[in-house]
Amino acid sequence: MIYLDNAATTQPASCLQTLFAQYCTESWHNPSAMYLPAVQAEQKLDAARTLLKNIIHAQEAIFTSCGTEGSNTVIFNGWQKRGSTKRHFITSAYEHPCVYECFRQLEQQGHRVDFVKAGKSGIISPEAVAELVCEDTALVAIMHVNNETGAVNDICAIADAVKVKNPQTLFYADGVQAFLRVPFDMMASKVDYYTASAHKVHGLKGTGILFFKKGTPLKAYLLGGGQENTLRSGTENTFGILAFAEAAHDFLQNHAQKLAHMAQLKHMLCTTLMQAKGAYCITPECSAPHILNMAFEGMRGEVLLHLLEKDGICIATGSACSSKKRSFRVHESVGLSPALAECAVRFSFCPDNTPEEIQYTAQKTIAALQKFQGFIRR
């Protein structure tokens, strides 16, 4: 099988097998307990937190169950409430559903929300966001890397522009697709909150992290025993957290070469597929190295996905998190027609993919297009 859906999830790093054996015999204790093995488990958890914080120079961090939980925590509990007064919020029209749907919920609660569109450039401009900031803007949320198109937003410039307009406005960036793949220094930026997810970087599903700056008005979203410095109750997923740190450490080995390798594979596939009839590259020039989003006129994305699946190739039509309620919101926000958006597919890479896999994928994609393009019933 050729797996090219690494934006959906990644294969766990092989080093986690040894870690799991160690966990099962030595580190399985509840880190909130008070006897020595539990204290040692807590120390390992804190070491994992420090390692992950240091990657982006974050001041504080709490562990969560996933990127969705982190986003919900910030959007509902990461800004200053003023009694029953309704506030103003800004986000983009192409955010991941875990962000977009939260702001729709805030709208239903009576708050004002502006949704910025990227337009054909595929990128959210700092000026477009800053223009909407007002005295009552509580929170701005703009994703770092779009999970479908791979577009990289300059969140540092956007946060700067927001803070110039209103220093009291908080800024959140969903970093799930960017973490370890796009450079980011949180300390040097004006970004207040940033999230990442373990299973996107060869860790395990069920573990995420919410980075934040000291002094932010973050309140607990899950209540209970007061774990994570009272900000996220629930017994910590110790192995998931240790695996997150181990996978991140492993990913950082020969890091520059891995990023360059993925970018090369992406360029190779895009260059070949652009020769196909009706080919359209949705991914903008400023994009993450691991995501390539394309459309082929006359070939529905879902059909191409299943044709390639028969050849042992796994790709996607969009976000796996919204596959149960498919929409073309992201592609329409970057100016694609509904007809072309329906033809979109996403290829996403990891360091273990090979040029031979890309050549085979290109060959089979072009063969499928030549045989079925324009003949599929809508």
DSSP conformation letters of 338-362: HHHHTTEEEEE--TT--HHHHHHHH
Three-state SS at 269: helix
Three-state SS at 241: helix
Is 15 noted as a catalytic residue in this protein? no
Would you say 187 and 58 are in contact if contact means Cβ atoms under 8 Å apart? Answer: yes
Residues with Cβ within 8 Å of 29's Cβ and at least 6 positions away in sequence, in order, are: 35, 37, 38, 40, 41
Single out the residue of 25, 71, 282 nearest to residue 177, CA to CA.
71
Give residue 338's identity as a one-letter amino acid code.
Answer: P
Would you say 65 and 54 are in contact if contact means Cβ atoms under 8 Å apart? Answer: no
Q: First-to-last CA distance in the chain?
A: 29
Q: What angle do CA 314, 315, 319 make, to 5 degrees?
A: 130
Q: Annotated catalytic residue: which of 98, 321, 343, 350?
A: 321
CA distance 27 to 24: 7
Q: Which two tokens stand for residue 18?
A: 């040894």
Residues with Cβ within 8 Å of 82's Cβ and at least 6 positions away in sequence, in order, are: none
Q: Which two tokens stand for residue 115?
A: 């949704």
Enzyme catalytic residues: 321
